[in-house]
Amino acid sequence: MSGFADCKPEAAMVERARHGDMQAHEALYAAYGAPVYTLAMRLLGEPAQADEILQETCVEVIRHLGACRDAEAFAGWVKRIATNKCLAQLRGAWHRKMRSLGDESDVEAALAMAARETGPGPEVDDGERLARALSALPPTARAVVWLYDVEGYSHREIAGLMGKSVSFSKSQLARAHQRLRGLLVTDEEVHSCMRQPSNF
Amino acid sequence: MHATTEQLLSLRDGEPVPAEVAAHLDECAHCTRELVRLEQARDGLRCLPPLQPPPSAWQEVLLRAAPGPAGPAAARYRPRPALLAALAASAVLAVALLLATGERETGAPLRGTTTDLVASTPAPASSVEGAGTPELVERSRRLESALRAMPAAPRVTRTSTALAVAELEDGILEIDSTLSTRDIGPERQQALWRQRVDLMDALMQVRYAELADAR
């Protein structure tokens, strides 16, 4: 489940932060820092970029908390800021090359390469394999599946955030799941083949 | 005929699907397995553990958000004269580019428009002359942020402008690709970062002029 679901700061804490209390801001950061970083890592896949998104989001929260009048809406407000920044980053020049590679290259090969780097074995659990498969998806499909399946955005909201249509969001979600299936099946087959005793 | 992934996702998420699709699921073991797999994939994604940011992240935030001259990081969020001058100079060149390649009847920006304003701003000397690699990297990062902060391109743009943008972006990506290789010496690295800053400057020029031209 999205880490933002557990981000429910007390109204008094939000109010203190709104008045410039930096200790209150730090307490808020303790609640939303990891969810923002996780969101950015899942969407962008690069620790340096995720760190940058986190810091930009924090600065925006500190400077514009007055725009968030309702403490109940705080987590959603922060999530929206971070999501917009991640999607802007995906649209930027840094990611164009990765996007084109992701769309045109063999993503199965990317996962196989990732598997070779750490080596197959029982230490690689299902969650780790799923995380690797997610990171091997093309950026747009990866963003849509994470925003929809985990962060709870609707197709209409995703369409609005990306400046695309609802059907685009739906087709990207389907594409993401088709790719995930291919990646995980391939991975399972690779593992089962490698665990089989040799007949020679 | 089996249900499509989109239809199965609609079923998974409780969205309406054609009656025949729902009926098909009652009889088809393959599609039922697929539906379960989609549910498991969603549940698996939701169960991935949260990732922790670097321990120093909050300290960096404090430096950035500081209202006064708290350090180099804090300066990132204040407009800097050098940067503004560079942007203005960039705009001058961009306007020149647009006027040189465009089909404007008069060949000059309309008086009182933003284009006219930036075209009348004198260009400063290059701000990256003699800069070391760290300064170039920092400047490149600032330009990247400034570009990201610019409004989206207008719906209708000149073909020549679109081509210029694509060429500049391709050039930047080519440099990024070279920079990502490990076997380049410090001098070559510095030269590449300098080229990158120049290209990003030019890209900023074109994008700025594109926006000004659209008004």
Residues A99-148 have pLDDT tens digits of: 554 444 445 555 555 555 444 444 557 888 999 999 999 999 999 999 99
Contact predicate B60/B73, CB 8 Å: yes
Of B121, B110, B105, the residue nearest B205 (C-alpha) = B121
Tokens for B161? 């402008």
Cα–Cα distance between A12 and A64 in angstroms, integer?
17
- Is 70 exceeded by the pLDDT of residue A192? no
Q: Which residues of A touch B42 (CB under 8 A)?
A: 149
The share of chain A scoring above pLDDT 90, in percent, equals: 57
Cα–Cα distance between B117 and B88 in angstroms, integer?
10
Taking only the tens place, the pLDDT of each residue in B20-64 is 999 999 999 999 999 999 999 999 999 999 999 999 899 989 888
Q: Is B41 on the interface with A (CB under 8 A)?
A: yes
> Measured in whole angstroms, how far is the alpha carbon of residue B89 from the centre of its chain?
21
C-alpha torsion sign, points B26, B30, B33, B39: negative
The pTM of this model reads: 0.60
C-alpha torsion sign, points B92, B98, B99, B104: negative
Which residue from A41, A163, A170 is facing B6, i.e. has the nearest CB?
A: A170
A54 to B38: CB separation less than 8 angstroms, yes or no: no
Q: Which residues of A touch B206 (CB under 8 A)?
A: none
